Amino acid sequence: MYKKLFIPGPTHVREEILQAQAVPMIGHRAKEYSDLQALVTEKLQKMLYTKSRVYLFASSSTGVMEGSIRQASEKKILSTICGAFSKRWHQITMANGIPCGKIEVPMGQAITPDLVDKALSGGEYDAVTLVMNETSTGVMNPVKDIAERIHDKYPDVLILIDAVSCMCGAKIEFDAWGLDVCLAGVQKCFALPAGLTVCAVSDRARERGKKIPNRGFYFAWDVMDKKYEKHQTPATPAISLIQALNKQMDDILAKGLENRWERHMQMASYVQEWAREKFRLYSNERYLSPTVTNVENTRGISVTTLNEELGKRGAMISNGYGDLKEKCFRIAHMGDLTIDDMKWLIAQINEILGL
Ligand SMILES: *Cc1c(COP(=O)(O)O)cnc(C)c1O
Protein backbone atom coordinates (compact mmCIF):
# COMPACT_ATOMS: atom_id res chain seq x y z
CA MET A 1 0.00 0.00 0.00
CA TYR A 2 1.19 3.52 -0.81
CA LYS A 3 2.22 5.43 2.29
CA LYS A 4 2.27 9.21 2.37
CA LEU A 5 5.68 10.20 3.71
CA PHE A 6 5.83 12.35 6.84
CA ILE A 7 9.53 11.53 7.23
CA PRO A 8 12.36 14.06 6.87
CA GLY A 9 13.32 12.84 3.41
CA PRO A 10 12.56 11.56 0.97
CA THR A 11 9.26 13.40 1.09
CA HIS A 12 5.91 13.00 -0.63
CA VAL A 13 6.16 13.80 -4.37
CA ARG A 14 3.09 15.10 -6.20
CA GLU A 15 1.85 13.15 -9.22
CA GLU A 16 2.41 16.13 -11.58
CA ILE A 17 6.05 16.27 -10.50
CA LEU A 18 6.52 12.54 -11.08
CA GLN A 19 4.99 13.00 -14.52
CA ALA A 20 7.24 15.96 -15.34
CA GLN A 21 10.15 13.50 -15.47
CA ALA A 22 8.42 11.35 -18.07
CA VAL A 23 9.39 13.36 -21.15
CA PRO A 24 11.72 12.30 -23.98
CA MET A 25 15.44 12.44 -23.19
CA ILE A 26 17.42 15.35 -24.61
CA GLY A 27 21.16 15.55 -25.29
CA HIS A 28 23.08 17.38 -22.56
CA ARG A 29 25.09 19.31 -25.14
CA ALA A 30 21.95 20.31 -27.07
CA LYS A 31 20.42 23.77 -26.99
CA GLU A 32 17.25 22.32 -25.42
CA TYR A 33 19.28 21.27 -22.41
CA SER A 34 21.11 24.60 -22.07
CA ASP A 35 17.75 26.38 -22.20
CA LEU A 36 16.41 24.11 -19.45
CA GLN A 37 19.40 24.61 -17.15
CA ALA A 38 19.36 28.38 -17.72
CA LEU A 39 15.70 28.54 -16.69
CA VAL A 40 16.13 26.31 -13.65
CA THR A 41 19.21 28.21 -12.45
CA GLU A 42 17.44 31.54 -12.64
CA LYS A 43 14.51 30.20 -10.61
CA LEU A 44 16.81 28.72 -7.98
CA GLN A 45 18.64 32.06 -7.70
CA LYS A 46 15.30 33.71 -6.98
CA MET A 47 14.49 31.13 -4.32
CA LEU A 48 17.88 31.69 -2.63
CA TYR A 49 17.80 35.50 -3.09
CA THR A 50 21.19 35.36 -4.80
CA LYS A 51 23.12 36.45 -7.85
CA SER A 52 25.84 33.92 -7.08
CA ARG A 53 26.35 30.74 -9.08
CA VAL A 54 24.02 27.84 -8.38
CA TYR A 55 25.31 24.44 -9.47
CA LEU A 56 23.39 21.23 -10.09
CA PHE A 57 25.05 17.93 -9.19
CA ALA A 58 23.89 14.42 -10.01
CA SER A 59 24.55 13.26 -6.44
CA SER A 60 22.92 13.05 -3.06
CA SER A 61 23.72 15.90 -0.66
CA THR A 62 26.56 14.07 1.07
CA GLY A 63 28.57 13.99 -2.16
CA VAL A 64 28.43 17.76 -2.43
CA MET A 65 29.29 18.12 1.27
CA GLU A 66 32.46 16.16 0.57
CA GLY A 67 33.20 18.18 -2.56
CA SER A 68 32.76 21.45 -0.65
CA ILE A 69 35.05 20.36 2.15
CA ARG A 70 37.84 19.48 -0.28
CA GLN A 71 38.01 23.00 -1.75
CA ALA A 72 37.27 25.17 1.29
CA SER A 73 40.42 25.55 3.34
CA GLU A 74 44.13 26.33 3.16
CA LYS A 75 44.36 26.24 6.95
CA LYS A 76 41.87 24.39 9.14
CA ILE A 77 38.11 23.75 9.09
CA LEU A 78 35.92 24.23 12.16
CA SER A 79 32.84 22.02 12.37
CA THR A 80 29.96 22.94 14.66
CA ILE A 81 28.14 19.87 15.93
CA CYS A 82 24.59 19.72 17.32
CA GLY A 83 23.46 16.32 16.09
CA ALA A 84 24.09 13.56 13.56
CA PHE A 85 24.12 15.58 10.35
CA SER A 86 26.30 18.41 11.61
CA LYS A 87 28.69 15.67 12.78
CA ARG A 88 28.83 14.37 9.21
CA TRP A 89 30.68 17.51 8.07
CA HIS A 90 33.39 16.73 10.64
CA GLN A 91 33.55 13.06 9.68
CA ILE A 92 33.99 14.00 6.02
CA THR A 93 36.74 16.50 6.86
CA MET A 94 38.67 13.93 8.88
CA ALA A 95 38.18 11.23 6.23
CA ASN A 96 39.81 13.55 3.70
CA GLY A 97 42.80 14.19 5.96
CA ILE A 98 42.07 17.92 6.14
CA PRO A 99 43.20 19.72 9.33
CA CYS A 100 40.11 20.37 11.44
CA GLY A 101 38.57 21.03 14.80
CA LYS A 102 35.08 20.97 16.28
CA ILE A 103 32.76 22.45 18.85
CA GLU A 104 29.81 20.45 20.09
CA VAL A 105 26.60 21.22 21.96
CA PRO A 106 24.24 18.61 23.49
CA MET A 107 21.52 17.11 21.25
CA GLY A 108 18.49 19.40 21.14
CA GLN A 109 20.56 22.57 21.56
CA ALA A 110 21.63 25.07 18.92
CA ILE A 111 24.96 26.53 17.81
CA THR A 112 25.16 30.22 18.78
CA PRO A 113 27.21 33.18 17.47
CA ASP A 114 29.12 33.35 20.79
CA LEU A 115 30.21 29.71 20.59
CA VAL A 116 31.44 30.11 17.03
CA ASP A 117 33.12 33.42 17.84
CA LYS A 118 35.05 31.89 20.73
CA ALA A 119 36.20 28.93 18.63
CA LEU A 120 37.40 31.19 15.81
CA SER A 121 39.18 33.67 18.08
CA GLY A 122 42.50 31.78 17.95
CA GLY A 123 42.78 32.56 14.22
CA GLU A 124 43.61 29.00 13.15
CA TYR A 125 40.53 28.43 10.97
CA ASP A 126 39.59 29.71 7.52
CA ALA A 127 36.29 27.83 7.08
CA VAL A 128 33.31 26.87 9.25
CA THR A 129 30.69 24.19 8.65
CA LEU A 130 27.14 24.50 9.92
CA VAL A 131 23.93 22.57 9.53
CA MET A 132 21.08 25.03 9.20
CA ASN A 133 18.34 22.57 10.13
CA GLU A 134 19.58 19.62 12.22
CA THR A 135 17.26 16.86 11.04
CA SER A 136 18.21 14.46 13.84
CA THR A 137 16.99 16.78 16.61
CA GLY A 138 14.55 19.22 14.97
CA VAL A 139 16.69 22.29 15.69
CA MET A 140 17.19 25.26 13.39
CA ASN A 141 20.47 27.04 14.00
CA PRO A 142 20.52 30.87 13.81
CA VAL A 143 22.61 30.88 10.64
CA LYS A 144 21.96 34.53 9.80
CA ASP A 145 23.23 35.72 13.20
CA ILE A 146 26.21 33.39 13.17
CA ALA A 147 27.18 34.51 9.66
CA GLU A 148 26.87 38.15 10.69
CA ARG A 149 29.29 37.63 13.59
CA ILE A 150 31.77 35.79 11.37
CA HIS A 151 31.72 38.58 8.79
CA ASP A 152 32.22 41.24 11.47
CA LYS A 153 35.22 39.61 13.08
CA TYR A 154 36.68 36.95 10.77
CA PRO A 155 36.42 38.17 7.18
CA ASP A 156 38.57 35.34 5.77
CA VAL A 157 36.48 32.52 7.16
CA LEU A 158 34.25 30.77 4.60
CA ILE A 159 30.76 29.74 5.75
CA LEU A 160 29.60 26.32 4.52
CA ILE A 161 25.94 25.51 5.09
CA ASP A 162 24.21 22.14 4.90
CA ALA A 163 20.65 23.31 4.28
CA VAL A 164 19.48 19.86 3.15
CA SER A 165 16.34 19.69 5.26
CA CYS A 166 15.26 23.34 5.01
CA MET A 167 16.24 24.79 1.62
CA CYS A 168 13.00 25.51 -0.27
CA GLY A 169 11.05 25.20 3.01
CA ALA A 170 12.53 28.15 4.92
CA LYS A 171 13.90 31.49 3.79
CA ILE A 172 17.63 31.53 3.07
CA GLU A 173 19.02 34.85 1.85
CA PHE A 174 22.31 33.61 0.47
CA ASP A 175 23.71 37.02 -0.56
CA ALA A 176 22.35 39.18 2.27
CA TRP A 177 23.59 36.74 4.90
CA GLY A 178 26.95 36.39 3.16
CA LEU A 179 27.02 32.62 2.85
CA ASP A 180 29.73 30.90 0.81
CA VAL A 181 28.38 27.42 0.16
CA CYS A 182 24.77 26.37 0.68
CA LEU A 183 23.60 22.96 -0.51
CA ALA A 184 20.55 20.71 -0.45
CA GLY A 185 19.40 17.49 -2.06
CA VAL A 186 16.02 17.86 -3.74
CA GLN A 187 14.36 14.89 -1.96
CA LYS A 188 13.45 16.97 1.10
CA CYS A 189 11.79 20.40 1.03
CA PHE A 190 11.85 20.59 -2.77
CA ALA A 191 9.59 17.49 -2.75
CA LEU A 192 11.24 15.85 -5.76
CA PRO A 193 12.54 12.32 -6.24
CA ALA A 194 16.08 11.77 -4.89
CA GLY A 195 19.31 12.05 -6.87
CA LEU A 196 19.99 15.74 -7.49
CA THR A 197 21.68 18.37 -5.31
CA VAL A 198 21.48 22.15 -5.63
CA CYS A 199 24.46 24.18 -4.39
CA ALA A 200 24.98 27.96 -4.31
CA VAL A 201 28.62 29.09 -4.16
CA SER A 202 29.99 32.59 -3.56
CA ASP A 203 32.66 34.14 -5.77
CA ARG A 204 35.16 34.17 -2.91
CA ALA A 205 34.59 30.45 -2.29
CA ARG A 206 35.25 29.81 -5.99
CA GLU A 207 38.51 31.78 -5.73
CA ARG A 208 39.53 29.86 -2.60
CA GLY A 209 38.86 26.57 -4.33
CA LYS A 210 41.32 27.30 -7.14
CA LYS A 211 44.15 27.61 -4.60
CA ILE A 212 43.72 24.11 -3.24
CA PRO A 213 45.72 21.53 -5.21
CA ASN A 214 43.88 18.37 -4.14
CA ARG A 215 40.36 19.74 -4.49
CA GLY A 216 39.06 16.73 -6.39
CA PHE A 217 37.41 16.91 -9.80
CA TYR A 218 33.73 15.91 -9.97
CA PHE A 219 32.56 18.57 -7.50
CA ALA A 220 35.27 21.19 -8.14
CA TRP A 221 33.75 24.64 -8.68
CA ASP A 222 36.37 25.56 -11.30
CA VAL A 223 35.61 22.40 -13.29
CA MET A 224 31.88 23.20 -13.13
CA ASP A 225 32.73 26.74 -14.28
CA LYS A 226 34.14 25.43 -17.55
CA LYS A 227 30.55 24.78 -18.67
CA TYR A 228 28.56 27.10 -16.38
CA GLU A 229 28.20 30.00 -18.79
CA LYS A 230 26.97 27.61 -21.48
CA HIS A 231 24.35 26.43 -18.98
CA GLN A 232 25.74 22.95 -18.99
CA THR A 233 27.61 20.61 -16.64
CA PRO A 234 30.95 18.88 -17.38
CA ALA A 235 29.51 15.42 -16.61
CA THR A 236 26.09 14.16 -17.69
CA PRO A 237 23.43 15.83 -15.53
CA ALA A 238 20.32 14.21 -14.00
CA ILE A 239 18.21 15.45 -16.91
CA SER A 240 14.86 13.93 -15.86
CA LEU A 241 15.14 15.31 -12.34
CA ILE A 242 16.02 18.73 -13.71
CA GLN A 243 12.85 18.60 -15.85
CA ALA A 244 10.88 17.91 -12.69
CA LEU A 245 12.73 20.64 -10.78
CA ASN A 246 11.86 23.13 -13.52
CA LYS A 247 8.15 22.30 -13.17
CA GLN A 248 8.34 22.40 -9.37
CA MET A 249 10.08 25.79 -9.31
CA ASP A 250 7.42 27.20 -11.68
CA ASP A 251 4.70 26.01 -9.31
CA ILE A 252 6.53 27.33 -6.23
CA LEU A 253 7.19 30.78 -7.72
CA ALA A 254 3.62 31.02 -9.02
CA LYS A 255 2.28 30.38 -5.51
CA GLY A 256 4.82 32.80 -3.99
CA LEU A 257 7.94 32.09 -1.96
CA GLU A 258 6.64 33.90 1.12
CA ASN A 259 3.56 31.67 1.08
CA ARG A 260 5.78 28.61 1.01
CA TRP A 261 7.80 29.77 4.06
CA GLU A 262 4.55 30.68 5.84
CA ARG A 263 2.92 27.29 5.14
CA HIS A 264 5.92 25.50 6.63
CA MET A 265 5.73 27.63 9.78
CA GLN A 266 2.00 26.98 10.12
CA MET A 267 2.45 23.22 9.80
CA ALA A 268 5.30 23.36 12.34
CA SER A 269 3.22 25.36 14.85
CA TYR A 270 0.36 22.92 14.53
CA VAL A 271 2.54 19.86 15.21
CA GLN A 272 4.50 21.61 17.98
CA GLU A 273 1.29 22.58 19.78
CA TRP A 274 0.02 19.00 19.64
CA ALA A 275 3.39 17.67 20.83
CA ARG A 276 3.45 20.05 23.81
CA GLU A 277 -0.04 19.01 24.82
CA LYS A 278 0.29 15.23 24.42
CA PHE A 279 4.04 14.64 24.81
CA ARG A 280 6.96 17.06 25.07
CA LEU A 281 9.20 18.79 22.57
CA TYR A 282 12.70 17.38 22.68
CA SER A 283 14.56 20.48 21.53
CA ASN A 284 15.18 23.99 22.79
CA GLU A 285 11.99 26.02 22.25
CA ARG A 286 13.96 28.99 20.91
CA TYR A 287 15.31 27.06 17.95
CA LEU A 288 12.48 24.81 16.79
CA SER A 289 12.65 23.68 13.19
CA PRO A 290 9.98 24.80 10.69
CA THR A 291 10.34 21.53 8.73
CA VAL A 292 10.65 18.65 11.24
CA THR A 293 9.49 18.21 14.83
CA ASN A 294 11.25 15.87 17.25
CA VAL A 295 8.73 14.67 19.85
CA GLU A 296 9.99 13.23 23.13
CA ASN A 297 8.26 9.93 23.83
CA THR A 298 7.16 10.81 27.37
CA ARG A 299 4.33 8.23 27.25
CA GLY A 300 6.67 5.35 26.51
CA ILE A 301 4.66 4.25 23.47
CA SER A 302 6.18 1.85 20.94
CA VAL A 303 7.09 4.11 18.06
CA THR A 304 7.60 1.05 15.85
CA THR A 305 4.05 -0.17 16.53
CA LEU A 306 2.63 3.31 16.01
CA ASN A 307 4.33 3.47 12.63
CA GLU A 308 3.01 0.02 11.68
CA GLU A 309 -0.52 1.15 12.51
CA LEU A 310 -0.02 4.39 10.59
CA GLY A 311 1.21 2.29 7.67
CA LYS A 312 -2.15 0.50 7.52
CA ARG A 313 -3.76 3.92 7.21
CA GLY A 314 -1.36 5.06 4.50
CA ALA A 315 1.16 7.19 6.37
CA MET A 316 4.71 6.95 7.67
CA ILE A 317 6.59 8.98 10.30
CA SER A 318 10.19 8.59 11.55
CA ASN A 319 11.55 7.04 14.67
CA GLY A 320 14.08 9.00 16.74
CA TYR A 321 17.50 9.26 15.11
CA GLY A 322 20.31 7.00 16.32
CA ASP A 323 20.43 6.94 20.13
CA LEU A 324 17.05 8.68 20.23
CA LYS A 325 15.30 5.66 18.66
CA GLU A 326 12.07 4.92 20.60
CA LYS A 327 12.98 7.79 22.96
CA CYS A 328 11.68 10.24 20.37
CA PHE A 329 9.81 10.23 17.10
CA ARG A 330 9.98 12.73 14.29
CA ILE A 331 7.19 14.18 12.22
CA ALA A 332 8.28 16.00 9.08
CA HIS A 333 6.16 18.84 7.75
CA MET A 334 8.12 19.73 4.68
CA GLY A 335 7.87 20.00 0.93
CA ASP A 336 4.41 19.97 -0.58
CA LEU A 337 2.54 18.71 2.51
CA THR A 338 -0.32 20.94 3.66
CA ILE A 339 -1.89 21.91 6.95
CA ASP A 340 -4.76 19.54 6.08
CA ASP A 341 -2.27 16.69 5.69
CA MET A 342 -0.89 17.47 9.16
CA LYS A 343 -4.38 17.63 10.69
CA TRP A 344 -5.20 14.27 9.13
CA LEU A 345 -1.94 12.70 10.37
CA ILE A 346 -2.34 13.98 13.94
CA ALA A 347 -5.95 12.76 14.01
CA GLN A 348 -4.73 9.28 13.00
CA ILE A 349 -2.06 9.28 15.72
CA ASN A 350 -4.55 10.44 18.35
CA GLU A 351 -6.95 7.69 17.31
CA ILE A 352 -4.31 4.94 17.30
CA LEU A 353 -2.94 5.97 20.70
CA GLY A 354 -6.37 6.77 22.19
CA LEU A 355 -5.30 10.31 23.08
C1 LIG B 1 19.16 14.12 4.73
C2 LIG B 1 20.27 14.97 5.22
C3 LIG B 1 21.59 14.81 4.77
C4 LIG B 1 21.99 13.70 3.85
O5 LIG B 1 21.50 13.91 2.59
P6 LIG B 1 21.72 12.85 1.40
O7 LIG B 1 20.99 13.53 0.28
O8 LIG B 1 21.09 11.58 1.85
O9 LIG B 1 23.16 12.72 1.16
C10 LIG B 1 22.54 15.71 5.19
N11 LIG B 1 22.24 16.70 6.03
C12 LIG B 1 20.99 16.89 6.51
C13 LIG B 1 20.71 18.02 7.44
C14 LIG B 1 19.97 16.02 6.12
O15 LIG B 1 18.72 16.21 6.58
Q: How far is the CA of 27 from the centre of ligand 1 (A)?
A: 30
**Which regions of the chain carry the CATH code 3.90.1150.10?**
4-11+256-353
pLDDT, mean of residues 203-218: 98
Confidence of residue 216 (pLDDT cuts 50, 70, 90): very high
Confidence of residue 59 (pLDDT cuts 50, 70, 90): very high
Of 65, 123, 128, 72, which Cα lies nearest the Cα of 102? 128
pLDDT tens digits for 88-137? Answer: 999 999 999 999 999 999 999 999 999 999 999 999 999 999 999 999 99
Q: Say if residue 19's pLDDT is above 90.
A: yes
Determine if ligand 1 sits within 6 Å of the CB of residue 9. yes
**Which regions of the chain carry the CATH code 3.40.640.10?**
15-253
Q: Say if residue 200's pLDDT is above 90.
A: yes
Per the prediction, the chain carries an average pLDDT of 98
Determine if ligand 1 sits within 6 Å of the CB of residue 136. no
pLDDT tens digits for 328-352? Answer: 999 999 999 999 999 999 999 999 9
Determine if ligand 1 sits within 6 Å of the CB of residue 165. yes
pLDDT, mean of residues 186-191: 98
Determine if ligand 1 sits within 6 Å of the CB of residue 135. yes
Determine if ligand 1 sits within 6 Å of the CB of residue 52. no
pLDDT at residue 328 in the model:
98
Share of the chain above pLDDT 70, in %: 100
pLDDT, mean of residues 271-275: 98
Separation CA 77–CA 305 (nearest Å): 42
* E strand spans, the chain: 4-5, 53-57, 77-81, 100-104, 127-131, 133-134, 139-140, 158-162, 181-185, 197-201, 280-281, 292-296, 315-316, 318-319, 328-332
Architecture (CATH level 2) of domain 15-253: 3-Layer(aba) Sandwich (3.40)
Count CB atoms within 10 A of the CB of residue 318.
22
Architecture (CATH level 2) of domain 4-11+256-353: Alpha-Beta Complex (3.90)
pTM (2 decimals)? Answer: 0.98
Interaxial angle between packed helices 303-312 and 339-353, expressed in degrees from 0 to 180 and rounded to the nearest 10: 120
Query: Which distant-in-sequence residues (6+ apart) come within 8 Å of 184 by Cβ?
Result: 61, 162, 163, 164, 165, 166, 167, 168, 190, 197, 198, 199
